[in-house]
Amino acid sequence: MNSFKLIKNFASLSIVQGVNYIFPLLTVPYISRIIGPEGYGYINYSTAFVSYFILLVTYGFDLTGTRKLARIESIDQKAINRIVSNVLTARLVLFLVSVILFISFLLFFEPIKKYTEVTIILFASCFAAVFSPQFIFQGFQDLTVFAKSNFIRGILNTILVFLLIKKPDDYIILAVLNSFFILIINILLFCFALYRFKIKLRFFSLAESIKLIIEEKMIFFSTVVISLYTTTNVVVLGFFVNTVDVGYYTTSHNFLNIVNSVIAVPLSTALFPFIGKAFTGSKEKGLLAVQKVLPIVAYLTFFSSLLLYFFAPMIIKLFYGNQFDNAILPLKIISFLPFIIGMSNVFGIQIMLNLGMDKLFFKVTFIVSVIGLVFNFYMSKNFGYLGTAWNIIIIESLVTFLMYIYLRKEGLKIIDFKYFKPKEIMSHFININKKI
């Protein structure tokens, strides 16, 4: 894969993530003044809860499926068919499991009962996750179709928000729109992927699906433990504060996700198959690729974090209004997360997983998740939503630090400061036809 294709994929994914968050930004000033902090609290708490079930359904296949597709020859159609079919069948099995678990939680988990209506609506996203074709397009390094489909989705969603959201209780309609568009887009994109890459599906047996689920368990466990110090922050916070305070924290964190998703997520998604190809050649080529792209990730995410910190008051007042003033301080506290997460992504996803260091990746994330979960209960109980904000910045920093230390112990040179010079970065992208 050449540098031009990398830039193209990054640009496409930036558009995808930009649409996912920037289009909603057009509606945020309108919605926030109608549904208020409490309405945001309902939506965001329910979203955090449902994300556990989405995590179960996706099962890390966007990483492992991508890795498998990126490493096979494009002419091996049988292997491609087998990988995609196996992932789809496994996801269907996991969806059935998630339905059973979801119903059980609704019946017996007291904190979620006041969010039942919104949570049931948002659970449709789990079924949409079954058909998520992200791993297919990533594996083939052909991501422009996401930009087009998500752009259309963003326009339609924005129009419908202005037409339908009129009163505080309409946060229910907001949940319906979110679930509906994700479901439709994923199904259409999945069908297009089958056509585009000439994939023929066949359903695997339950035994074969379970075998795949067991084989990929380390990546899944890693994503689960990561959620213990990310998504769980919101759920735990809901144990100790009211819905309005949940709204303040999730408002700040969701805006940070805009920055993170427009920059860090596209970089990660575009780089994973790119660096994976380099590591397929040799460990040395892979590390050289990492050394060259690390400065780009560092500069982009650090600059974004600085802007977020200094403009936090203006951002909250402009987009959310004066009733969300209490969201300014938590946004400033977590403003450097894009930089921290960008670095941990390079160390963990781009290096550890591409080198097959799944167990080491899990070890680091497990250690930190246990610390983070315990610390989160203490911070949220004693300091409310500000404690939650401090908890996540401390824990994410610890993840990044430990990943770097473990990689250095493995004798891997990750950082070469000569590639941080602007001249080196420019020369890398000017020569677009030269492969790393």
> How many CB atoms are located within 10 Å of the residue 214 CB?
9
> How many CB atoms are located within 10 Å of the residue 116 CB?
11
Q: What is the pLDDT of residue 1?
A: 47
Q: What is the pLDDT of residue 13?
A: 59
Best-predicted range by mean pLDDT among 46-60, 134-148, 312-326, 379-393? 379-393
DSSP conformational letter for 200? -
Q: Where are the alpha helices (DSSP H) in 165-242?
A: 171-196, 206-215, 217-228, 231-240
Radius of gyration of the chain (CA): 21
- Distance between CA atoms of residues 133 and 20, nearest Å: 16
> How many CB atoms are located within 10 Å of the residue 409 CB?
9
Identity of the amino acid at 75 = I
The predicted model gives 249-261 an average pLDDT of 83
The tokens for 403 are 């990943």
The predicted model gives 234-241 an average pLDDT of 88
Q: What is the pLDDT of residue 112?
A: 80
Contacts of 18 (CB under 8 A, 6+ apart): 262
The predicted model gives 186-211 an average pLDDT of 89
> How many CB atoms are located within 10 Å of the residue 426 CB?
10
pLDDT digits (tens, 9 = 90+) for 310-355: 999 999 998 888 889 999 999 999 999 999 988 998 888 788 887 8
The tokens for 395 are 């824990």
pLDDT at 273 over 70: no
Count, residues in the chain: 436
Quick one: what percent of the chain has pLDDT higher than 90?
Answer: 31
Q: 3-class SS at 59?
A: coil
H or E element that contains 350 = none
The tokens for 359 are 């167990």
pLDDT digits (tens, 9 = 90+) for 149-184: 777 888 888 899 999 999 988 989 999 998 998 899
pLDDT digits (tens, 9 = 90+) for 44-94: 889 889 999 999 998 888 878 877 887 776 667 888 899 999 999 999 999
Residue tagged 């089958």 (tokens): 194
For residue 271, CA distances in Å to 38, 100, 278, 345, 359 come to 38, 36, 10, 10, 21
- What is the per-residue burial (b if ≥16 Cβ within 10 Å, else e) of 312-331? beebbeebbeeebebbbbbb
pLDDT digits (tens, 9 = 90+) for 93-130: 999 999 999 999 988 887 788 788 899 999 999 999 99
φ/ψ of residue 248, rounded to 5: -60, -50
Please say whether the beta carbons of 48 and 231 come within 8 A: yes
The predicted model gives 258-264 an average pLDDT of 71
250: nearest Cα among 60, 44, 392, 17: 44
- Which range is least confidently modeled, 156-170, 268-282, 364-378? 268-282
pLDDT at 23 over 80: no
Identity of the amino acid at 52 = Y
Give me the long-range contacts of 170-178 (CB less than 8 A, separation at least 24).
170/34, 170/35, 171/35, 171/39, 171/40, 171/42, 171/43, 171/118, 172/117, 172/118, 172/121, 174/31, 174/35, 174/43, 175/43, 175/46, 175/118, 175/121, 175/122, 176/121, 178/122, 178/125
Q: At what angle do helices 358-409 and 337-345 cross, to 10 degrees?
A: 100
> How many CB atoms are located within 10 Å of the residue 26 CB?
14
